[in-house]
Amino acid sequence: FELLNEPHDALNNANLGPLYAPVLKTIRASNPTRPVLVGGQWNNLDKMLEFPLPDDPYVAPTFHYYNP
């Protein structure tokens, strides 16, 4: 699962952690080991590097890179 694609506007890095937590908890109730992708604001690499990942071994960071 990928929780959001390119979150932006009010969905900044400060707001994403509290948003992701209950969603991840719901997913884990029925899918305890399914990989879940999370990204920072706009799925930007720099924003992802600033985003603290949830403490879950099956969560992986995702980012978009559009330059060649």
Report DSSP state, residue 44: B
The whole-angstrom separation of Cα 32 and Cα 12 is 27
User: For every one of its 68 residues, what pLDDT tens digit does the chain have, with 9 covering 90 and above?
Assistant: 999 999 999 999 999 999 999 999 999 999 999 999 999 999 999 999 999 999 999 999 999 988 87
Q: What is the pLDDT of residue 17?
A: 92
Q: What is the pLDDT of residue 32?
A: 98
Question: Residue 67's pLDDT is what?
Answer: 83
Neighbouring CB atoms inside 10 A of 39's CB total 25
